[in-house]
A and B are shown apart, each in its own frame.
Chain A
Amino acid sequence: MPSQAKHKETADRFLRLYEAIPEEFPEGRAIALFYCALHLIEMVAATENRHCRNHFLRGRYIRSEHRHIWKFYRPLQEASEHARYLAGGGFTMTAEQVESVLRRKYLAAIEQWAMSRAGESDSSPSH
């Protein structure tokens, strides 16, 4: 089971990936944000000696153990699925929406919660 630190490191890497992806690829940016969120969730799970090995178990874990986070995580997951599966311009969020809603609203809420849970608020992803 990966450690709390490993998950945080991976979350940081996905946030850096987000920033490295040009704005002309909002779908790629949405995917990076979702995986950042996923690893923040896993970071918290690791503090509880837990690990969710697939999306189903992770969803169930969030809904049952950290219910208030679901409303931030679910839209990120949905956006990521649309980014991956809606072909031919089917992903309709703009780069501005990805930044202002997915990152600044949903991911920021998960980040704040995760850092608080992990007792690492002083070392939150700084990007």
Chain B
Amino acid sequence: MAVEPKESTGKGPLRIRFDDARKVLVEDHNEDRILISSEDAVRSCFTQSMRSRIDAELQEALLEAFKRVVAWSAARPQVQRVLVSRPDGDRMLFLIVVAGRTHDFSLDDEISDLSLDVASRLNWMPSPVTVMTVPAGVPDALDSYIDLDDAFEIYAKPGQA
């Protein structure tokens, strides 16, 4: 079984070709080792590289969705706060807290448009994305949907925080 020496003296990159007949010994900082074929090593590296790229793209999409909701909220004086949570560990909930004690029907169409936009930005998520309003003046409205300790606020109207 041929492996690369443990201490590499070269300064250039280690090259592993998928068709190299030798096995590859990979060692982490705990000196845990994995011995795999060159082909598997190459496949693992490419998978990891692709996963990192996808993760970065998904994070970017999530950030863009947040920015969209924040910009939308900042343009509407009725919106007091926006909280994001995954209340049941599955769906992602954007909870838009609207001023007043009763439901504001005037925002219905705009919220629908916003939710279409957010859902389309996040349509890669395997779980539901919901955009919902609650009146600020209804006691316990937020607690009815989310655990405030687990939610994070992405927008607060100046003076509301």
Contact = CB atoms under 8 A, between A and B. Distances in A.
Q: Do A and B actually bind? A: yes
Interface of A: 55-56, 59-60, 63, 67, 70-71, 74-75, 78-79, 81-82, 85-88, 90, 92-93, 97, 101
A58 B127 CA distance: 13
A55 B93 CA distance: 14
Interface string B134-161: 1100111100110000000000000000
Given A74-B112, A86-B140, A87-B140, 4 more contacts: A63-B120, A82-B103, A86-B144, A90-B141
Interface string B86-125: 0000010000000001110100110111011001100100
Interface residues of B, number: 27
A87 to B, nearest CB: 6
Contact of B102 (A60, A70, A85, A92): A92
Contacts of B120: 63
Contacts, number: 59
Nearest to A64: B123
B105 A81 contact: no
Contact of A87 (B109, B115, B116, B144): B144
Contacts of A90: 138-141, 144
11 contacts: A55-B128, A56-B91, A56-B127, A63-B119, A74-B108, A75-B108, A79-B103, A86-B138, A87-B144, A93-B103, A97-B105
- In the complex, which of the residues A70, A79, A85, A86 has the most CB atoms of chain B within 10 Å of its own CB atom? A86
B21 interface: no
B132 interface: yes
Contacts of A88: 139-140
A32 to B, nearest CB: 18
